[in-house]
Amino acid sequence: MAMGDKDVVVGGNIAGVTPKHDGAALSDLTDDLIMEILLRLSPENRGRWCKRASLVCKSWHRILSDPGFRGRYVNLHREEILRQQRHAREEVERRRLRILTQRHLSREEVDLLCRVRHIS
């Protein structure tokens, strides 16, 4: 259908023309487009969604295994990833202190250890 002077283009389609929706298969998407979508997924629970996504098909597995993808993902989500790691590290420290205070050391000894650790 040739576009005439009276045809209006709306959102990439000619107004009045209904685009075909044949349910394009995942294989029709290019690897670059899939990579861009995967790059934007939240780092929250990334281990879980990354494992599941890598099982979708070989091309997704190849994309997710690519060191270039991992590097871009980390660069894009650096602040969130660092925040999650800091939170996890703080949680481990809290658990260690809880174990120490419950079993081995007095509260004063634990406080002293914390001060010494932060000084060094």
Residue ranges per domain, the chain? 29-104
Q: What does the DSSP assignment read for 36-98?
A: HHHHTS-STTHHHHHHHHHTT-HHHHHHHH-HHHHHHHHHHTHHHHHHHHHHHHHHHHHHHHH
Does residue 7 register a pLDDT over 60? no
Average pLDDT, the chain: 71
Mean pLDDT of 112-119: 66
Does residue 19 register a pLDDT over 50? yes
In angstroms, the CA 23 to CA 25 distance is 6
CB crowding 14-34: b at 16 or more within 10 Å, else e: eeeeeeeeeeeeeeeeeeeeb
**The pLDDT of residue 1:** 46
Check: CB of residue 76 under 8 Å from CB of residue 39.
yes
Least confident of 33-42, 62-71, 94-103: 94-103
Higher-scoring residue by pLDDT: 84, 99: 84
DSSP type of residue 9: E
Does residue 68 register a pLDDT over 70? yes
Does residue 63 register a pLDDT over 70? yes
**The pLDDT of residue 120:** 47
Q: Is 73 exposed, middle or buried (0-12, 13-18, 19+ CB in 10 A)?
A: buried
